């Protein structure tokens, strides 16, 4: 059994508030060894948003195709979510999520479920034991609409600022919600209305993303400050 470590937090998770949450692999190790593992984590994000789940994700995948489709349709139609996933980006050794808490303990429960589920999957596949993530996840509360939009941009540009891909490859990076906002994904996993309210057309969204792209080093520095700020709060 994999248990997510508990910790005293100075960040209070309130319903209807937005947070940037992130974590990295223990000892900065890789979290994703290939396409299947990236996709498994995306599936985990999608599945564990819902509350009162009828089965674990492993049970969901053990269903025949028709059964999975029926279960997925029922979840979308009948089950409430603990968090609204607004943006995400998966990197080789860490991940970023922007989430809005929809119910009491929603974020903590969501992160515990995805961390435990993915760690168990990864450890079974790679025949390893122990923690996969570097302790408790970090979180920063979004205090304004402007901060929220800039963090979404930071999250989506992370593969560029971290020199994983070139800027011209960003639109095709499959492991973030950026393609969802471009309309390139038929059925995404994000609630996009809050961002799309500020950018009513894909052109205005794209301009916002790429106008700052020339300052990738600056954004990277901002990212380090965000992480350091959260880590310092956890240690207080």
Q: What are phi and psi of 9, to 5 degrees?
A: -115, 145
Residue 41's Cα: distance from chain center in Å?
A: 9
Predicted pLDDT of residue 213? 58
Domain boundaries, the chain: 18-235
Residues facing residue 98 across a β-bridge: 20, 87
Q: Which residues of the chain have pLDDT under 70?
A: 1-10, 212-236
Distance of alpha carbon 189 from alpha carbon 46, whole angstroms: 6
Predicted pLDDT of residue 7? 39
Predicted pLDDT of residue 185? 83
Residue 206: CB atoms within 10 Å: 15
- pTM for this predicted structure: 0.87
- pLDDT tens for 85-115 read 999 999 999 999 999 999 999 999 999 999 9
Residue 202's Cα: distance from chain center in Å?
A: 22
By three-state DSSP, how is residue 73 classified? helix
Question: What is the maximal distance between C-alpha atoms in the chain?
Answer: 50
CATH architecture of 18-235: 2-Layer Sandwich (3.30)
C-alpha closest to that of 190 among 180, 200, 203: 180
Predicted pLDDT of residue 226? 55
Residue for token pair 């989506």: 156
Predicted pLDDT of residue 135? 84
Q: Which two tokens stand for residue 32?
A: 């994703």
Distance of alpha carbon 159 from alpha carbon 38, whole angstroms: 14
């Amino acid at each position: 059994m994999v248990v997510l470590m508990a910790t005293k937090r100075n960040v209070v998770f309130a319903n209807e508030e937005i947070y940037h949450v992130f974590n990295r692999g223990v000892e900065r190790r890789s979290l994703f060894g290939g396409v299947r593992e990236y996709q498994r984590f995306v599936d985990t994000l999608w599945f564990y948003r819902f509350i009162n789940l009828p089965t674990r994700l492993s049970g969901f995948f053990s269903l025949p195709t028709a059964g999975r489709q029926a279960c997925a349709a029922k979840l979308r139609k009948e089950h409430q979510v603990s968090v609204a996933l607004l943006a995400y980006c998966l990197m080789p050794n860490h991940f970023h999520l922007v989430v809005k808490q929809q119910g009491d303990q929603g974020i903590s429960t969501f992160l515990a479920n995805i961390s435990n589920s993915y760690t168990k999957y990864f450890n079974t596949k790679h025949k390893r034991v122990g923690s996969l993530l570097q302790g408790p996840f970090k979180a920063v509360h979004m205090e304004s609409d402007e901060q929220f939009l800039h963090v979404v941009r930071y999250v989506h540009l992370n593969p560029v600022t971290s020199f994983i891909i070139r800027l011209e490859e960003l639109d095709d990076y499959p492991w973030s919600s950026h393609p969802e906002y471009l309309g390139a994904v038929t059925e995404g996993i994000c609630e996009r209305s809050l961002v799309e309210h500020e950018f009513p057309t894909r052109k205005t969204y794209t301009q916002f993303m790429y106008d700052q792209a020339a300052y990738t080093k600056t954004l990277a520095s901002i990212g380090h400050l965000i992480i350091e700020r959260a880590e310092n709060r956890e240690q207080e």
